[in-house]
Amino acid sequence: MDFSTGMRITSSGMTANRMRMNSIATNIANVNTTRTAEGGPYRRKDVVFEAIPDQKNFGEILTRPEDVAKQRVQVSDIQVDMKAPLMKYEPNHVDANDEGYVAYPNIDLMSEMTNMIQATRAYEANVSAMGAIKDMALTSLEIGR
């Protein structure tokens, strides 16, 4: 595997995990949002990853057989959680229904924070791999002098 392939693979991981962190941050920010433009409470969003073969350009696709060992990651979908909202009794709230209950997003803050830590660690691992690839490339250039 050449250096550019390694950089493409690690950068795809960083991009995917950045999107995951953005989604988690949006979920945390909207944990108390009871009214959205679509109507009803905010719905939790979850990012779905997909592994795809690493192909650089059209010429490589035609001349090289597909190498399933070299795969990039990409975001294939952002799923909206359709769980029932949490109903809390707050009769004085603006969004309370006739019985006095308010529909809140079904978001578990602890799960979201755990997911954020996992995404951060995955991002950091890709940053470390990118640094190692860069160091190897620089060392190989030094050998060539």
pLDDT at res. 129:
93
N-terminal to C-terminal alpha carbon distance within the chain: 22
Which residue type does 21 have? Answer: M
Rounded to whole angstroms, the Cα distance separating 105 from 35 reads 10
pTM of the model: 0.81
Strands 71-80, 45-53: pairing is antiparallel
pLDDT along the chain (145 residues), means of 10: 82 94 96 91 94 70 63 90 93 92 95 96 95 90 80
pLDDT at 96: 92
Size of the chain in residues? 145
Between CA 104 and CA 69 the distance in angstroms is 44
**Strand intervals (E) in the chain:** 45-53, 71-80, 86-89, 101-104
Chain centre distance of CA 65: 30
pLDDT reported for residue 61 = 62
